[in-house]
Structure 1
Amino acid sequence: MKNTVTNTVLVLAFFVTFTHIPFTIARQNSTRVFYYSDELGTEGEFDSVPSALTFDNPRLKRAYVALQAWKQAIISDPFNFTSNWVGSNVCNYTGVFCSPSLDDPAIKTVAGIDLNHGDIAGNLPEELGLLNDISLFHVNSNRFCGKLPWSFEEMKHLYELDVSNNRFAGKFPTVVLRMPNLKYLDLRFNEFEGKIPKALFEKKLDAIFINHNRFAFELPENIGNSPVSVIVLANNRFHGCLPTSLGNMSSTLNEMVLSNNGLHSCLPKEIGLLKNLQVLDVRKNELMGELPFSIQEMESLERLDLSHNMFSGAVPQHLCSMPNLQKFNFNHNFFKGEPPMCLGLEQSDDGKNCFHGRPVQRSRLQCKMFLTRARSQDCSVFNCRPPPSPPKN
C-alpha cells in the first residue's frame, strides 16, 4: 500500500511569490511538464516547450504551458476554438487576451480567458494555475466536467469566474474562497451538490449565481453579511427558514431570486428593510402565513413574485401602490383580500387564490379547509432563529 503513491497521476506543489510562482507539476512516466522558480528567481525549464520557441517573457512561457496542457485535456472542440493554439504567440490564441501586467506594466501577460459558447468537452487541468495574472475566466456554455482545480487559488487577480452551463460536479468548489479579488461568481447550471460554506457569504462578492445545481442546505443566518448586489439561488434543494439577517443587506442588494427551493417558513418582517431591492422572486416554495406589512416599505421594488406558495390573509393595502412596482405575481396561494390597486397593475396575476368575484379562483371548499388549518398555526411553529445580538462593548 505504501507504494501506491507511484500511481499518482498528478503531483502539485505551490510556493507562492508575486512575480515568480514556484510551481512543480510531475506526471507519472511522463516529462510533459516541469517548471520551477526558486527564491533567487532562477527558472527551470518546461520540458514540453520546444527549444525552437521563444517568448517575450517567462509569464508568456508559463501561459504557453498552461494552454497546451488545457488543449490536451480537451476531447471535443466542434467549433475549433483551440485549433490555432499553436506556437509561442499565445496572445493570438482564440479566446486568450493579453495586456500589461498589473504589477509591472512593462511586462505583457495573459489577462483573460473567454471561451463562452464553444460547446467544448474536456476538463480543466491543474496547469491552469500558471495563468496567475488573469482577471477573468469565462467558459460558460461548454461541456467541461470534473472539478475546479485547486491551482485556481494562484489566480490572485481573478475578478470574474464564470463556469456556468457546464457539467462540473462534486461539492462546492471551496477554492473560490481563496481568490482574494473575486467579485463575480457564476456556478449556475452545473451538477454541484451538498452544502454551501458559510464563508461564501463573508466574502466581498458583488454577484453570486449558484442556481440550477443540486445544493441542499439551510440558508445560514450570516447570509446577511454578504455585500452582493445580486444573489440567485433558485432551483436547488434548500430547506428551512428565510433568515432575518436578510435585512442587513439593505444598502447593497438589488436582486434576490430564491425560487423553486424547499424554503418552508414565513417572510420575516425584516424583508421590508431592503429599500434598494428591485427584484424579489420567491415563487415555488412552501412559504406561508400573512405578508408582513413592512413589505410595503420596499420602495424600489419593480418585480415581486410570490406565486405558488401558501400565503394567506390579505395583500397589504398599499403594496400595489408602491411607486416602482410594475409586475406582481401572487397566483396559486390562499389570499382572501385584494386591494383595488392590484387590479390596475399592468402585469399582475391573482389567479388560484380565495378572492370572491375574481375569475380562476380556488374552490370554496379548498379555501375553507386550508384556512381552517392555517388558523391553528402561526409563524412561530417554524422555530426560525432571530438574528444574533451584537457583541457588548
Structure 2
Amino acid sequence: MNKTLSNTTQSHQLRKQMEASNVFFLVYVEVIVLLSCFNLHGFNLLGLVTASPVVRGNGTDQHALLQFKTKVTGDPLKIMESWNISIHFCQWHGVTCGRKHQRVTKLDLQFLKLSGSLSPYIGNLSFLRGLNLADNSFYNQIPQEIGRLRRLETLQLTNNSIRGEIPSNLSACSKLTLVDMRSNQLAGEIPASLGLLSNLKFLNFANNSLKGSIPPLFGNLSSLEVLSLAINALSGTIPEALGQLTNLSFFSIYGNAISGNFPMSIFNLSKIRSFDIGANKIQGTLHSDLGITMPSIEFFSVAGNQISGQIPISISNASNLNVLLFNDNRLSGNVPSLEKLDKLVNLGLGKNHFGHGKEGDLKFLCSLVNATKLKFLYIGTSNFGGELPKCISNFSTTLLNLVIEQNKIMGRIPNGIGNLINLEVLSALENQLSGPIPSEIGRLQKLNIFFAYTNFLSGTIPNSIGNLTMLIKLALNENNLQGSIPISLGNCQNLLLLDLSNNNLSGSVPREVLRLQSLSIWLDLSSNYLTGELLVKNLGSCVSLETLSLDDNLFEGPIPSSWSSLRGLVQLDLLDNNLSGGIPEFFVTFGALKYLNLSFNDFDGVIPSEGVFKNASATFVEGNNKLCGGIPELHLSRCNSKTSSTTSVKLKIAIIVVMLGVALVFTCLLVLWFRKKRQQHPRTICEENWLLQLSYQSILRATNGFSTQNLVGAGSFGSVYKGILEESGEVIAVKVFHLLHSGASRSFLAECEALKNIRHRNLVKVLSAISGIDHKGNDFKALAYEFMENESLEDWLYPSTSMNEPETMRNLNFIQRVNVAVDVAH
C-alpha cells in the first residue's frame, strides 16, 4: 500500500510533535520536518510491495536473493520462510519483478525486524531500481558491490546499525534520486563523488558518526531538495557553493562542529522551507533581508551558535513561520515587532543579550497577541527589563510554556495570568518581580512546573495553589513570602519537588503536605520561622525522597523513628534547629546518603562510626555539646569523658536502686512463703512431676480415635473428650488444643504451667500433658484431667431440655448458685 501524506497531515505531525517537546525542540522538530519533506516529494517511504504472478525468472536474480537470505541471522517474523525454491522468487515476500523481463526491480523489506549483514551478491540484481531495508537491525558495512546497480533510483537503509564508510562508488549509480542512511553508525568522511549524482533530490545522512567537512561539490546537486547532515561530527565551514542549490527546500546541519561565517548566498534560497544550522560554532550576522529572500520559510533555527548583531526587521515578512529559534547566541538590541507572524508556534529568544534592562524591552510581546497557535515562548537568560506587560494575559490559550527566567523584569505577575488555562510550564525565576502571587494562579490547572524563586515576591502563598493538582515541581524559595504553608498544598498529589526555603514562613508544617508520598526529589523548607516539634513523621512514606532540607528553623524534639524508611536520601540538612535526643542508628544503613548536617542542635549520646559517619567531609555535627565518640576527624570528646561519665554514674546509681528494690521485695515474699509453708501439711507427691506419662497413641486409643461419641464439649482453643486408659482402665478427660487457632499454643503453655503447680478443691486435677506429633505429622498438644461424672458447670447452670434426666434434676436453687460463684472466685 503506497501512501503520500498530504500537506495537511505533515503540518499536523509537526504541531503534534511540538506539543510534546520542550523549549529547545531542535532535534525533534528536525526529525518531523524531515519526514514531512520526505512525503512532500512523493518518495515511497512507507509503501508495501505486492508480489508478481508466478512466472519463470532469471536464475541470477534468484541466486542473489538466496545469498542475501544466507546473511540474515535474525528473522523473528519468519519472513524469509517464503524465500524458497518451491515458489517463484517474484512471489517472495518483499520482492517485485518487472513484467517484461521478470527481473527483480524492487526489494522492500522495511519494518520486518530482520538482522544480519548485507550480502555483496545484492550487486547482481542489475535491474534493481528500489532497495528499502529501513527500520531493521542490519549491521556491518555497505558492500562496495552496491555501486554496480546502475538502474538504482532509491536507496533506503534508515534506522539500522550499519557501520563503516559510505561507498565512494555509489556515485556510479547515476539514476539515484533518493539516498537515506540516517540513524546508523556510519563513520569516515562523506565522499565528494556523491556531488556527481545530478538526479539526486533527497540526501540524508543524519544521526551517524560522520566527520570531515561538507563537500563543496555538493553545490552541483542542482536537483537537490532535501539535504540533512544533522547530528554527526562534521567540521569545517558551510561551502559557498551550497547557495547554488536553488531547488533546496530542507537544509539541516544541526548538531555538528561546523564553524566560520555562513555564506550570505545561502539566504537567497527562495524555496527553502526548513533551515536549521543550530548547535554548531557558526559566527557572523543575519542577512538584513532574511524575511524577504526566504518568503516560504516555515522552520528557521540558528540556535546554539555564536551569531551576533540584531534580528533583522524583515523577519516579520516571513508570515509562514511556525518555528523561529534564535536562542543561545550573542544577539543584542531590541526584538522587532512580530505582528505578522500569526502562524508562530515556537519562539526562542533566550540566552542572548537582548534588551537594555529597562522599560520598553518587552514591548514586542504585545505583537504576539495575534499568534493564535503559539505554544512555546522562551525569552529567558537575557537582559530584558521593565515590567511584564499585561498583554500576556491576552496570549492564546494554546500557550504551553512561558519562560521569562533570568532577566531584570520588575513589577507584579499580572492577575490575567490565569487566562492561560493550558499553561504547563511557568518559569519566572531570578528576576526582580515583586508583590503577591496572584490567586488567579489557581486557574492554571494543567501547570506542571512553577518556578518563581529568587525574586522579591511578598504576601502569603495563595490557598488557590492547591488547585494545581498536576503540579510536579514548585519552587518559590528566596523571596519575602510570609504566613503559613497552605494546607491546600496537600492536594498536589503529583508533587516531586517542593522548595519554599529562604522566606519568612511561620507556623507548623501542615500534615497534609507531609503526607505527599509523591515527594521523591527535593523538599526544602529551610531558612524560615517554622515551629513546633519535628512533626514530619508522615514523611516516612516518601521512601524515594533524595533531598530534605529543614535547616535554620525552630523545629524541636527528636528525629522520628519513621524516617528509617527514607533510604533514598542523598542530602539531609537539619542545621540550626532545637532538635534533641540521640542520633538514630538507622542513618548508618542509608547507603545513598552523601551529606548529613546535624549541626547546632541539642543532640546527645554516642555518634555512630559507620555509614555516612565514616566520612568527616560528609557529616557535620558541631554545636551539639552532648555528643561523644565517632571518628577522630569529627573532634568529639571520648564517651568516657567527664560529660559521658556523669551520665554513666547516674545510670549506675539508677540500676543499683532498682536492684535493691527488687531484692527487698523478693526477701519479703520469701519470708511470707516460709510462714505459709509451716502452716501447711507436706505433700506426698512431687509438684514438679506429672502423675501419668501419656503419649499421643495412648490418648488416641483411649478416646476411640477422638470419636464424636466421646466428645464432652468444645471451646475456642480446644475440644474435651472422655477417655478410658487401656493399661489401668482409669477414666480421664482429655483437652485437645486446636493449634491452628491463634493463641491456642499460648493457651496450652499457660494452662499447663498453671495447673501443674496449683492445687484447689474447685479445680479439676491435671494428670498429664502431651506434646508431640500426630499421625499426619502435625503438632499435637493436649492435657489429661480427672474425669468428673457430673459433667460441666455450664450444663448445671444452663441445663438442656434434650438431656435424659428430668429438667428439675438439673436445676440449681439460688443458694447453690451463690455457692458456685463463691467457689469459682476462690
Q: How far is 1:150 from its partner?
A: 2.5
CA contact (8 A) 2:65 2:122 kept: yes
Q: Is residue 2:283 matched to residue 1:288? A: yes
Asked whether 1:76 is paired with 2:74, we answer yes
Instruction: Say whether residues 1:223 and 2:222 are aligned partners.
Output: no
- Are the counterparts in 1 of residues 118 and 143 from structure 2 also a CA contact under 8 Å? yes
| Pick aligned residue for 2:304 from 292, 308, 313 | 308
Structure 2 residues not aligned, in runs of 5+: 1-53, 356-360, 363-378, 385-405, 408-826
Which residue of structure 2 lines up, in the alignment, with residue 360 of structure 1? 380
8 Å Cα contact 1:239-1:262 kept in structure 2: yes
* DSSP-derived class of the 2:251 partner: strand
Are the counterparts in 2 of residues 188 and 209 from structure 1 also a CA contact under 8 Å? Answer: yes
1:48 counterpart residue number: none
Match of 2:201? Answer: 206
Deviation at 1:99, TM superposition (A): 2.2
Q: Is the 8 A contact 2:164 2:185 kept in 1?
A: yes
Distance 1:160 1:112 in 2: 9
Task: Output the amino acid matched with 2:350.
Answer: G
Contact 1:269–1:292 at 8 Å: present in 2 too?
yes
Q: Output the TM-score relative to the length of structure 1.
A: 0.73
Equivalent residue pairs, number: 305
Aligned equivalents of 1:340 and 1:302: distance in 2?
18
Q: Secondary structure, in 3 states, of the residue corresponding to 2:96?
A: strand
For residues 281 and 362 of structure 1, the distance between their equivalents in structure 2, rounded to whole angstroms, comes to: 22
1:16 equivalent in structure 2:
none
| SS in structure 1 at match of 2:97 | strand
Contact 2:304 2:328 in 1 (8 A): yes
Q: Deviations over 1:285-309 (max 9, x none)?
A: 1112221224331122121011111
Give me the whole-angstrom Cα distance separating, in 2, the residues matched to 1:222 and 1:292. Answer: 24
SS at 1:122's partner residue?
Answer: strand
> Offset at 1:218?
1.6
> Larger RCO: Structure 1 or Structure 2 (Cα < 8 Å, ≥ 6 residues apart)?
1
Q: 3-state DSSP class of the match of 1:83?
A: helix
State the secondary structure of the residue aligned to 2:259: coil
- 1:350 and 1:183 map into 2 onto residues whose CA distance is 37
Counting aligned pairs with the same residue, the percent is 25
2:175 touches 2:197 (CA, 8 Å); kept in 1? Answer: no
TM-score (norm 2): 0.36
Offset of 1:55 from its aligned partner?
6.9
The question of whether the paired residues in 1 share the 8 Å contact of 2:111 and 2:135 is answered with: yes
Q: 1:62 aligns with which of 60, 63, 71?
A: 60
Match runs of 1:1-393 below 5 Å: 56-57=56-57, 59=58, 61-87=59-85, 88-100=87-99, 105=100, 107-204=101-198, 205-227=200-222, 228-250=224-246, 252-296=247-291, 297-337=293-333, 338-341=335-338, 344-345=341-342, 346-347=344-345, 348-356=347-355, 357-358=361-362, 359-362=379-382
> Is the radius of gyration larger for structure 1 or structure 2?
2
Q: Which residue of 1 aligns with 2:635?
A: none
Q: Deviations over 1:8-66 (max 9, x none)?
A: xxxxxxxxxxxxxxxxxxxxxxxxxxxxxxxxxxxxxxxxxxxxxx9714x2x222211
> Once the 2 structures are TM-superposed, how far is the Cα of residue 191 of structure 1 from its aligned partner?
1.4
Q: 1:147 to 1:231 in 2, by over 3 A?
A: same
What is the letter of the counterpart of residue 152 of structure 1?
A: I
Q: 1:213 offset after TM fit, Å?
A: 1.1
- Structure (1 or 2) with the greater helix fraction: 2
Structure 2: which amino acid aligns with 1:70?
A: F
Q: Which amino acid aligns with 1:273?
A: N
- Name the CA distance, whole Å, in 2 between partners of 1:149 and 1:55: 30
Cα 1:221–1:126, aligned 2, differ >3 Å: closer, same or farther? closer
The answer to whether the Cα contact below 8 Å between 2:121 and 2:145 also exists between their aligned partners in 1 is: yes
Distance apart, 1:128 and its partner CA: 1.6
Structure 1 segments unaligned to the other structure (5+ residues): 1-53, 368-393
Amino acid at match of 2:72: I
Contact 2:321 2:341 in 1 (8 A): no
Equivalent residue of 1:194, what SS?
coil
Secondary structure of the 2:182 match is coil
Post-superposition shift, 1:334? 2.1
| Conserved? CA contact 1:171–1:192, under 8 Å | yes
Q: Which amino acid aligns with 1:295?
A: L
Paired letter, 1:330:
F
Structure 1 residues 96-137: Cα deviation after superposition (integer angstroms, max 9, x where no partner): 11222xxxx2x2221101110122111111222221111100
* Preserved CA contact (<8 Å) 2:161 2:184: yes
CA separation of 1:342 and 1:259: change in aligned 2, threshold 3 A: farther
Deviation at residue 325 of structure 1 after TM alignment: 2.5
